[in-house]
Amino acid sequence: MILISLEEQCLCYPKSMPLNDTEILARLESIGEQGGKLLDIGEAALLLAHLDLPKNNFTKYLDELELIASNLSEASRDAKTLPDQITALSDTLYNRHGYRGDLDSYDDPQNANLMRVMDRRKGLPVALGVLVIHAGRSQGWNITGLNFPGHFLLRLTKSGEHALIDPFDEARLLLTEDLQHLLAGVHGPEMKLQSEFVRSVSDQDILIRLQNNIKTRALRDGDRTRALEILISMNLIGPTNVDVLAELAVLESSEGNYKSALGRLDLFLERNPETESADDLMRLKQNLKRRLN
């Protein structure tokens, strides 16, 4: 497994100096340009968090990630099987470092900001999942996020054997009946387990899912400016995600910024002339132009 770290992407930064918004956005754009390659997902999520918390010490959180990796290395020294790896992850992140799923204030936006998650030692499934992925990959383990709806899950793979784990529940090993129970809890008993729900997703998709939690809560609270900021960061890390692009263009235009919205659509179509969504995006362009006129 080859990880693309931020430093390997030539995104080196002085350890003692804070990052400004321009530098962070440039690095997020570079992450988006990596496509489906594996990222140093912990650092990437911290960059997103740093946009909201510019006064925080970025290096302090990187050091915390390194400490978690070091502690997991110690805990997994004799790990030879998937259950051994899962036990080491659970012992390190949830017992030693005290992380847990936030059941009491689940909808708190802090639960999707990795810096605040690391401060508070609690968060959403996807935020905790980022920490588990980062920790597992620091040991060279094969771990990915899944396309499970409504509750973020992970797959750990070793020698052709797979295990699904729940980062919100101390990396608990999940069986088929557990998956069905999770689906029923979110979508009702009529929702049946489908193969696409356990399909691996890219690291960029995981980061978009992380940010989407903040964006959804901003819209719920009527903070459209905040939602726009989050959508811009989502567009940077997922520049080929048509759903994000369309939502960003629509929200920008609803705020009166039609030229920016149209410019985004034009640039995307210019860079992706063969996209299957070309017709839909052209129709969106026409609708926005009618509003402009």
Per-residue pLDDT of the chain (293 residues; tens, 9 = 90+): 445 444 444 444 444 457 888 999 999 999 999 988 889 999 999 999 999 999 999 999 999 999 999 999 999 999 999 999 999 999 999 999 999 999 999 999 999 999 999 999 999 999 999 999 999 999 999 999 999 999 999 999 999 999 999 999 999 999 999 999 999 888 888 888 899 999 999 999 999 999 999 999 999 999 999 999 999 999 999 999 999 999 999 999 999 999 999 999 999 999 999 999 999 999 999 999 888 76
Q: Which of 201, 220, 250 is the last residue of a domain?
A: 201
Give the pLDDT confidence score for residue 275 in this predicted structure: 92
139, with CB counted inside 10 A (0-12, 13-18, 19+), is middle
Q: Tell me whether residue 106 is in a domain.
A: yes
Is residue 249 included in any domain, yes or no?
yes
| Model pLDDT, residue 116 | 98
* pLDDT value of position 3: 53
Residue 189: its pLDDT value, please?
84
The per-residue pLDDT for 185 is: 85
Whether residue 160 lies inside any domain: the answer is: yes
- Residue 254 maps to a domain: yes
Domain that residue 48 falls in: 21-201
How far is C-alpha 265 from the chain's CA centre? 24
Q: Identify whether residues 197 and 109 lie together within a single domain.
A: yes
pLDDT confidence of residue 7:
45
Same domain, residue pair 134 and 244: no
Residue type, 244: V
- Domain contains 207: no
pTM of the model: 0.91
Q: Are 84 and 185 members of one domain?
A: yes
Q: Are residues 130 and 56 in the same domain?
A: yes
For residue 44, what is the domain's CATH number?
Answer: 3.10.620
